[in-house]
Amino acid sequence: MENHVSFFSELLGQYCYTDRITIETYSHDQTEDISQLPFMVLKPKTVEEVSKILAYCHQHNLAITPIGARTGLSGGAIPNQNGIALSMERMNNVIEIDEKNHQVTVEPGVITEVLQDKVKEYGLFYPPDPASKGSCFIGGNVAENSGGPKAVKYGVTKDYVLNLQVVLPNGHAMWTGANVLKNATGYNLTQLIVGSEGTLAVITKIVLKLLPLPTCDLLILVPFRSVIQACQAVSEIYQNGIIPSACELMEREAMICSQEYLQKNGVEVPIPIQKHHQAHLLIEVDGFKNEALMDDINNILSVLEKFDSFDANDVLFAATEEDKKQLWMLRRTVGHAVKSISVYKEEDTVVPRYALPDLLKKVKELGDKYAFRSICYGHAGDGNLHVNILKDTMNDRQWNEQLPIAIRELFSEVVKLKGTLSGEHGIGLVQKQYMDIAFDQVSIQLMKQIKKVFDPNNILNAGKIFPS
C-alpha cells in the first residue's frame, strides 16, 4: 500500500488523499444506505494523469472506480472496498463551444446545469436534464446514459454524444469516433461507452450536439382523481399527435411528501392538493411561438376531458417564471423527500408508454401481496416509473428476504409488458442480481466478454452490472 501511495502522491501531490474524512465522503453515492470505503481518493486534472493512474492500476491489479458527482441511484460510483476512488471533479472545463456546428466539447466534471447555462448564452440548448442537473456531472450522465423530464421530446444523453475521449483500463488514451452527426464507420465505440457505467473506460472529454434554444414554454399541473386514469391520459395525449417537452407523473403521496420536505427546509410551495386528487401530471410544452404553445395546451386539455377523473376546474397554469420554478422544484424534490421519510429502495422501471397503467396496477398489487408501501412518480411520457418502496414498519426479514422476491416478480412483469429493469439509473450494484430477467445467458456472456476485451485484469469498476 505504501508504495502505491507514494507513486500516486508523487504524480498528483496534494490531490492524492488517504485521510479518513475524504475516504468516507467518497465511500457512497445517493443509493439507498450503501457504502464501501476506498483506501485512497485521487483527483487528476489532465488526461495524461488519468492515463498514468490507470496504467499503474493495470500493472498492479488495483481496483479503481471512476466517480462523478456521486448522485447515482444504482451504486455505480461506490468504490470497491479498499480500492481507489478516481474523482473526475477537477476536470471541469467547458473547452469549446462551436457555434458554427452547434457542438460543445467539455470535460466530464462539468455540472450539467452549468453546461446548459453556458451554451444558453450562445442561444444554444443541451436538452437532457436529469432532476439532479444542479449537482450531477456530464461525465456521470454519459456513463449512465441519463434521461430526465425532457427526454420524452428530445431524447436522452446518448442522442447528444457525438464523440468521446476515453482512457482504457491499460492507460491508453483515444478518441472513439468523430465530431459528426452521421457516422457509419466501423463499430460504434462511442455508443458502447455511453451507459457503460464506468466499467469499460474512463471518459475524459465529451463532444455533444446542441440544438437552437426554444424561446418559450408553458407549464400546467393537472389533477386526477384516479392515478390509473392519469397514466392512461399520458398515452392518449401522444396518440392525439401532441408531443409535450415534459410529461411527469406524481402520485398524491409524492406531491405531499415533496411539499412537506420543502416546507421543513423553509421553502413554501403553496399548491392546494385536494382530498380527492390521487395523482398529478406536470405537463410542459416548448417551442418558438407562444400562440402555437397555447394551442397545444388547449388540445391537451380537450384530450383530458375524456377522462371522468380529470379535474378541469383545478388545473394550475404556471403564469409566471416563479410559478414554473416552484412546480419544477416540487417535482425535482420528490426523490430527496421520499428518502428523508424512510429507508427505501428505488426501482427505475420502464415500459412502453401504453403499458404504464398496467405497470402501476401491478406495483400496487405486489404492495398488497408483500405488505410494502410504494410511492410512485416519474417520467410518465417515457413509460419510466420510479417505484419507491418504503421500509416503514417492515421488519428486517421482510425487507431482506421477502422484498427481493417481490422485486423479482415486479421486474418479471415489467419484461412481460415489453419493458426493462432501468430506464435511466443504470444497474450498478443494486440491480445486478436481476439481470437474468432482462437478458438470457448468451447476452450476458457477450457483455462480459466485451468487458474482458476492454479490461482483461478486471480493475475498472469491477463487480458492477453483472451478477457475481
Ligand X SMILES: Cc1cc2nc3c(=O)[nH]c(=O)nc-3n(C[C@H](O)[C@H](O)[C@H](O)COP(=O)(O)OP(=O)(O)OC[C@H]3O[C@@H](n4cnc5c(N)ncnc54)[C@H](O)[C@@H]3O)c2cc1C
Q: Which residues bind ligand X (CB under 6 A)?
A: 29-30, 65-73, 76-77, 88, 108, 130-132, 136-137, 139-141, 143-144, 146-148, 197-198, 202-203, 335-336, 424-425, 461
Is the Cβ of residue 53 or residue 366 nearer to ligand X in the bound state? 53
Q: How far apart are CA 198 and CA 193, in angstroms?
A: 8
Is the Cβ of residue 118 or residue 336 nearer to ligand X in the bound state? 336
Burial group, residue 450, by CB count within 10 angstroms (0-12, 13-18, 19+): middle
Is the Cβ of residue 71 or residue 309 nearer to ligand X in the bound state? 71
Is the Cβ of residue 49 or residue 144 nearer to ligand X in the bound state? 144
Whole-number minimum distance, CB 205 to ligand X, in Å? Answer: 10
Q: Judge whether 246 and 150 are in contact, CB under 8 Å.
A: yes
Is the Cβ of residue 171 or residue 307 nearer to ligand X in the bound state? 171
Burial group, residue 368, by CB count within 10 angstroms (0-12, 13-18, 19+): exposed
Q: How far apart are the first and last CA of the chain?
A: 26
Is the Cβ of residue 169 or residue 229 nearer to ligand X in the bound state? 169
Is the Cβ of residue 32 or residue 296 nearer to ligand X in the bound state? 32
Is the Cβ of residue 304 or residue 330 nearer to ligand X in the bound state? 330
Whole-number minimum distance, CB 353 to ligand X, in Å? Answer: 17
List C-alpha distances in Å: 250 to 143, 253, 294, 363.
27, 8, 23, 15
Q: Judge whether 390 and 342 are in contact, CB under 8 Å.
A: yes
The single-letter code of the amino acid at 169 is: P
Residue 100: CB atoms within 10 A of its CB come to: 5
Compute the half-sphere exposure of residue 263: CA atoms within 13 Å on the CB side of its CA. Answer: 9
Whole-number minimum distance, CB 42 to ligand X, in Å? Answer: 13
Whole-number minimum distance, CB 309 to ligand X, in Å? Answer: 27
Lay out the sheet containing 373-379: strands in order across. 316-317, 216-224, 279-287, 246-251, 373-379, 384-390, 344-350
Is the Cβ of residue 139 or residue 177 nearer to ligand X in the bound state? 139
Q: Sort residue 87 into left (φ over 0), alpha (ψ -120 to 50) or beta.
A: beta
How many Å is the Cα radius of gyration of the chain?
22
For 432, the 3-state DSSP assignment is helix
Whole-number minimum distance, CB 30 to ligand X, in Å? Answer: 4
Burial group, residue 6, by CB count within 10 angstroms (0-12, 13-18, 19+): exposed
Whole-number minimum distance, CB 455 to ligand X, in Å? Answer: 12
Whole-number minimum distance, CB 72 to ligand X, in Å? Answer: 3
Whole-number minimum distance, CB 222 to ligand X, in Å? Answer: 20
List C-alpha distances in Å: 172 to 55, 117, 384.
8, 33, 37
Whole-number minimum distance, CB 461 to ligand X, in Å? Answer: 5
For 32, the 3-state DSSP assignment is coil
The single-letter code of the amino acid at 134 is: G
